[in-house]
Chain A
Amino acid sequence: MKIHKYDTVIVGAGGAGMRAAIESTKRSRTAVLTKLYPTRSHTGAAQGGMAAALANVEEDNWEWHTFDTIKGGDYLVDQDAAEILAKEAIDSVLDLEKMGLPFNRTPDGTIDQRRFGGHSRNHGEAPVRRSCYASDRTGHMILQTLYQNCVKEGVEFFNEFYVLDLLMQEVDGVRKSAGVVAYELATGEIHVFQAKAVIFASGGTGKFFKVTSNAHTLTGDGQAAAYRRGLPLEDMEFFQFHPTGIWRMGILLTEGARGEGGILRNKDGERFMEKYAPVMKDLASRDVVSRSIYTEIREGRGCGPEGDHVFLDLTHLPPEQLDAKLPDITEFARTYLGIEPYTDPIPIQPTAHYAMGGIPTNVRGEVLADNTTVVPGLYAAGEVACVSVHGANRLGTNSLLDINVFGKRAGIAAAEYSATADYVELPEDPASLVVAQVERLRSNTGSERVHDIRRELQETMDANVMVFRTEQTIKTAVAKIGELRERYLNVSIQDKGKRFNTDLLEAIELGNLLDLAEVMAVSALARKESRGGHYREDFPNRDDVNFMRHTMAYREVGDDGTESIRLDYKPVVQTRYQPMERKY
């Protein structure tokens, strides 16, 4: 076991982690731990753009953006946070441009902007061009630009270091962050990083679904580590299903395709979104479009011999426009489906995409131990966190924005904290939990295989807690997850070695997915209403009287060692916007 000491440790090197690192490295001795190489992070898969009311191509302002974000989140958004997001969006985009990001340009040479779902002029009048973009690889360019600037600033990375535990210690009656424990993939060695401030920026948890746009590595490692240390997880029932994933594969096809004029069609060739969202049509918010697609499918208007998908039609757009604005996604269609998007529509279905919930933080990125108490020295930003700027449904282009605005805020806040704080003493045997976990998995001789349990988990999640949910389906999922958690205790791996043991890694990741899937399902069961991405067929209406509140899920361990989930609730911060019926 090796012990390292840094002022600030950042867990994860995607957009949020690297944006934080650029700030904190200037101000404090910082280490970034990442289970991948930084440029492999899933920020790079984001395509369509980053919202900011620059008003470069038409009238726009941050107040409209704030409203759209709150309405998009079905009023579960904390309105003070949404206002910060929309206001600071403008500087965030300009920061990236100054760092070198090659945005597409207008004829005047300013940053070009395009339409995106749910973004409107003057509180819903018509779609507005707010998304700043770099072709259909905006996330790739953000990830590259941030990495380039990390190189410039000399950010210290520990690549392929997998953080498995968060260390917390009580000091004068207050639980504080003391550091993290990491597993070095290349050697199997355990490392303890003592730090005054820790920032979790480890991304999402979409891999508990089968059809997902998420990378194999998005397994909720940060959320699970915090949860197991007794910290709450907020709004985990809210998961976004992106309307346009490649049929059966789930690979993302950007909403920018519809921003450029793409149209969704059912088997009769009908532009069905006109029925569901007369004003915004194909550019309604993602939850609305995904539900509409599945309604078409359920009512027998799906495409293909199994009627299980619809079409994204780009054939009316000029090939030059597709080449210039959507080169990557058209290539995905050619590579993975053998389809030519110039002439043929692309089969799509909704794909599990983004966790609105996560580790609760305030607007400084400080992690909350309950509804109000800050954990000194602990921060979170990006998809792992819940500020909450996305509420019950995130708008497209607001996640690349989120990682930049709150990554920067967390980086500054953490470095400022570590400049004055003392180290918290490490617990006596800081790596004990991780060592026990790794040894148990390495030596277990049980008959269960990681792949079987993961596949069954993904199948039950797709079948029971996806776009449409009922009490019965969610209960089915809860029971199944419970059974899988039992079986997980009996899981064994074949690779017993120390060197690059990805077999072990996948087993650990599965444990995280199981914990988080259970939190998600239990949170969903208790929310007896429909709001944003959480749609209950048995409670189809939004219920502001009983459920205008954030879910806070805590792990409880009884005296006999049995685990359970305790749900609590937190009020939503409302400033100037009163909840209204949501129409697009």
Chain B
Amino acid sequence: MATPTLDKVEDAKPASAPSPYITVTFRIRRYNPEISSEAEWQDFPIEIDPKERVLDGLHKIKWETDGTLTFRRSCAHGICGSDAMRINGKNRLACKTLIKDINPEKPITIEAIKGLTVLKDLVVDMDPFFQAYRDVMPFLITKGNEPTRERLQSAEDRERFDDTTKCILCAACTSSCPVFWNDGQYFGPAAIVNAHRFIFDSRDEGGEQRLEILNDKDGVWRCRTTFNCTDACPRGIEVTKAIQEVKRALITRRF
């Protein structure tokens, strides 16, 4: 509690509030090639308020029990995209998942996202993911002279690609995609989402180039519409719909 609350306020605490803490088991897939070439599950029982985040539980283990437990995180509220992981078999952000919402009665399984090489515990090699992103030319392409003021865009045209601007590049979608698991050459949903963001931006003039890239054998046609990506997206982006819109644009060449 911060400075300015006075003692009398402290005294106002209810005398016998029930303890919010429960015991939860985190079952974590551990892997450290410096120690062993085999990955294994390890159980950590922790005392925690179930209204806390899975990330809080991971911190509790790292800070109080086992400092070798390794995961990425930064903002801790679902904006930076560092802590996508597979929690009870589903891709989620650890900082956006409350323990009470994922059945804490049973052990909570936590493992690295799939389809990218695990480097240590919950840390994967993100480079192939960002390479696919770079390959779709994720930047505004325009021709002619720059205007002196802003380019005009109607509110409707701005709304057209609003959903796909929310992407935080956490890889939850791409690493939930069965096609991506089987063949890492597939661009994956996140790269297509970011191509969509520009293809449907009225200011952009690079749509044809991007569509050609996505028309490739490793492009949008690999999508099998399983909706895993949409389910996984922590930002609520309708990923499968965006991929379908790109497919349609490829057929009609209208966007």
Known A40-B80, A100-B201, A449-B63; judge A107-B162 contact (CB<8 A).
no
A234 in the interface, Cβ–Cβ < 8 Å?
no
Q: Hey, which chain B residues are within 8 Å of A151, CB to CB? A: 133-134, 138-139
Annotate A284-295 by CB proximity to B: 1 below 8 A, 0 otherwise: 000000000011
Q: Is the pair B81, A40 in contact by a Cβ cutoff of 8 Å?
A: yes
Q: Hey, which chain A residues are within 8 Å of B182, CB to CB? A: none
Known A102-B162, A451-B64; judge A39-B2 contact (CB<8 A).
no
Task: Report how far A151 CA is from B33 CA in the complex, Å.
Answer: 32
Which residues 72-126 in A have Cβ within 8 Å of B in the complex?
93-94, 97-100, 102-111
Annotate B149-173 by CB proximity to A: 1 below 8 A, 0 otherwise: 1111111001001100111110000
B251 in the interface, Cβ–Cβ < 8 Å?
no
Q: Is the pair A99, B140 in contact by a Cβ cutoff of 8 Å?
A: yes
Q: Hey, which chain A residues are within 8 Å of B147, CB to CB? A: 98
B78 in the interface, Cβ–Cβ < 8 Å?
yes
Q: Is the pair A140, B79 in contact by a Cβ cutoff of 8 Å?
A: yes
* 13 more A-B residue pairs beyond the given contacts A468-B4, A503-B67, with a C-beta to C-beta distance below 8 A: A36-B82, A44-B80, A99-B139, A104-B158, A105-B155, A144-B165, A215-B80, A217-B74, A295-B4, A332-B77, A450-B63, A467-B2, A468-B3
B249 in the interface, Cβ–Cβ < 8 Å?
no
Q: Is the pair B158, A105 in contact by a Cβ cutoff of 8 Å?
A: yes
Annotate B1-38 by CB proximity to A: 1 below 8 A, 0 otherwise: 11111101110111000000000000000001111000
Cβ contacts A to B, 9 pairs, < 8 Å = A98-B151, A105-B155, A148-B139, A151-B138, A298-B4, A307-B12, A308-B5, A336-B98, A338-B51
Min C-beta distance of B218 to chain A, whole Å:
19
Q: Is the pair A140, B168 in contact by a Cβ cutoff of 8 Å?
A: yes
Known A294-B2, A297-B4, A500-B123; judge A137-B166 contact (CB<8 A).
yes
Q: Interface residues, chain B, CB within 8 Å of chain A?
A: 1-6, 8-10, 12-14, 32-35, 51, 62-64, 66-68, 70-82, 96, 98, 119-121, 123, 126, 130, 133-134, 137-140, 142, 146-147, 149-155, 158, 161-162, 165-169, 198, 201, 203-204
Task: Report how far A313 CA is from B42 CA in the complex, Å.
Answer: 45
Residue of A nearest to B71 (CB): A502
Q: Is the pair B153, A40 in contact by a Cβ cutoff of 8 Å?
A: no
Q: Hey, which chain B residues are within 8 Å of A297, CB to CB? A: 4-5, 9
Q: Interface residues, chain A, CB within 8 Å of chain B?
A: 36-37, 39-42, 44-45, 93-94, 97-100, 102-111, 134-135, 137, 140-141, 144, 148-149, 151-152, 186, 211, 215-217, 249, 251, 294-295, 297-298, 300, 302, 305-308, 328, 332, 335-336, 338, 349-350, 449-451, 462-464, 466-469, 473, 493-495, 497-503
Task: Report how far A533 CA is from B74 CA in the complex, Å.
Answer: 26
Q: Hey, which chain B residues are within 8 Å of A501, CB to CB? A: 70
Task: Report how far A169 CA is from B67 CA in the complex, Å.
Answer: 37
Q: Is the pair A44, B2 in contact by a Cβ cutoff of 8 Å?
A: no
Q: Hey, which chain A residues are within 8 Å of B10, CB to CB? A: 306
Q: Is the pair B75, A42 in contact by a Cβ cutoff of 8 Å?
A: yes
Q: Is the pair B126, A37 in contact by a Cβ cutoff of 8 Å?
A: yes
Residue of B nearest to A349 (CB): B2
Q: Hey, which chain A residues are within 8 Å of B72, CB to CB? A: 40
Q: Hey, which chain B residues are within 8 Å of A349, CB to CB? A: 2
Min C-beta distance of A264 to chain B, whole Å:
16
Min C-beta distance of A496 to chain B, whole Å:
9
Task: Report how far A94 CA is from B149 CA in the complex, Å.
Answer: 7
Q: Is the pair A109, B153 in contact by a Cβ cutoff of 8 Å?
A: yes
Residue of A nearest to B53 (CB): A336
Residue among B64, B140, B147, B158 with the highest chain A CB neighbour number at 10 A = B140
Q: Is the pair A294, B32 in contact by a Cβ cutoff of 8 Å?
A: no
Q: Hey, which chain A residues are within 8 Å of B123, CB to CB? A: 500
Known A300-B9, A305-B12, A500-B70; judge A102-B201 contact (CB<8 A).
yes
* Other-chain residue from B35, B67, B96 in contact with A493 (beta carbon distance below 8 A): B67
Q: Is the pair B9, A41 in contact by a Cβ cutoff of 8 Å?
A: no
Task: Report how far A306 CA is from B130 CA in the complex, Å.
Answer: 47
Min C-beta distance of A207 to chain B, whole Å:
11
Q: Hey, which chain A residues are within 8 Å of B62, CB to CB? A: 502-503
Q: Is the pair A102, B4 in contact by a Cβ cutoff of 8 Å?
A: no
Q: Is the pair B74, A499 in contact by a Cβ cutoff of 8 Å?
A: no
Known A40-B82, A151-B139, A307-B9; judge A466-B155 contact (CB<8 A).
no
Q: Is the pair B130, A216 in contact by a Cβ cutoff of 8 Å?
A: no
Residue of A nearest to B119 (CB): A500
Known A466-B4, A503-B67; judge A216-B79 contact (CB<8 A).
no
Min C-beta distance of B32 to chain A, whole Å:
7
Task: Report how far A497 CA is from B67 CA in the complex, Å.
Answer: 11
* Other-chain residue from B14, B96, B198 in contact with A100 (beta carbon distance below 8 A): B198
Residue among A141, A308, A350, A469 with the highest chain B CB neighbour number at 10 A = A308
Q: Hey, which chain A residues are within 8 Å of B130, CB to CB? A: 37
Q: Is the pair A298, B6 in contact by a Cβ cutoff of 8 Å?
A: yes
Q: Hey, which chain B residues are within 8 Å of A144, CB to CB? A: 165, 167
Task: Report how far A144 CA is from B75 CA in the complex, Å.
Answer: 16
Q: Hey, which chain B residues are within 8 Å of A503, CB to CB? A: 62, 67-68, 70
Residue of A nearest to B66 (CB): A494
Task: Report how far A338 CA is from B98 CA in the complex, Å.
Answer: 10
